[in-house]
Amino acid sequence: MNEQINLLFTLDTGYLNPLCVELTSIYYNNPKTAFKIWLVHESIMAEEIEIVRKLAEKLHFQFEAIQIDGSIWQGAPTVERYPKEMYFRLLAGEILPTSVQKVIYLDPDILVLNSVTELWNMDMDGNMLAAATHTGLIDVTTKFNQIRLDIDHGYYNSGVMLMDLDRAREIVRWEDISAALAKHGPQLMLPDQDILNYLYGKYAVEIPEERWNYDARMYQRYLTRSLGQDDVKWVINNTVFLHFCGKPKPWQNGHDNRFTAVYETYQRLMNYIMES
């Protein structure tokens, strides 16, 4: 049995079913790995939490839900796709017990296709987090975000992050986040991700998106950029986090790409486990 790996999710009730699908994918593709699941939320009902807890028990995961007062985020920019709960990950070092020294944060719209152990054991060389950037064949978005946010590093996607919580406890301050929200609130496009990059991107180390934060919409881009190497078979065997960015989501009507059926497979496995 390997060292216990801490996984963090911060979400509202609308993402509980996708979370259960994600946990199922973790279980099937990380055999003999010990996990502790941390679910941070503001208003999920106890009976809904219990559903996730029972699934976690069936998957042999440890599970703990932490309910917090999200009133400090009142007035922070949010939109339908990005609710208040998205900000909670920024204060993970403050929210989680000090005994938790590092954690992998994951968005709930992800399938885990391979072992997470390599990322967990990564040496971050004193940085606070490890994350991927999403760039195109010609990277114009990085320069746009650098100008928009006045930063001199890549623009990191916050959907998958290895976080050194001891470093976060030294660096992250609510006062800094609040000031950034007050100063840049109307200009924020992806609110918490913008804040993460603006304040803490300089403490990040980049990891390859093809393995660690694969945007499921961009298959053709990855295939072209790899000169045909990163085909579907490559993804299934090498990608760890398959991220269903954007809309529609794979559990919604209208989602139909190369990876929809993969998601549906884990959805059915989850239903089978829940019913057994």
The answer to whether 26 touches 84, Cβ cutoff 8 Å, is no
Say which CATH number the domain at 15 has. 3.90.550.10
| Sequential pLDDT tens for the chain (276 residues) | 468 999 999 999 999 999 999 999 999 999 999 999 999 999 999 999 999 999 999 999 999 999 998 776 666 665 555 466 777 899 999 999 999 999 999 999 999 999 999 999 999 999 999 999 987 534 435 544 554 555 656 789 999 999 999 999 999 998 888 888 877 766 666 677 888 888 999 999 999 999 999 999 999 999 999 999 999 999 999 999 999 999 999 999 999 999 999 999 999 999 999 999
Which element (helix H / strand E) includes 269?
helix 260-275
Q: Does residue 177 sit within a domain?
A: yes
Structural domain includes residue 218: no
In a domain, 118, yes or no: yes
How many CA atoms lie within 13 Å of 248's alpha carbon, on the beta-carbon side?
9
- Is residue 65 a part of any domain in this protein? yes
Domain range for 196: 5-209
Contact 119, 213 (CB under 8 A): no
**Residue for token pair 């944060």:** 105
Please state whether the peptide bond connecting residue 208 to the residue before it is cis, i.e. omega within 30 degrees of 0.
no
Show the tokens assigned to 259.
């990876």
- Asked whether residue 95 is domain-assigned, the answer is yes
pTM of the model: 0.91
What is the number of domains present in the chain?
1
Rounded to the nearest 10°, the torsion over CA 140, 144, 150, 156 is -60
Residue 161 domain flag: yes
Task: Answer yes or no: is 237 within a domain.
Answer: no
In a domain, 264, yes or no: no
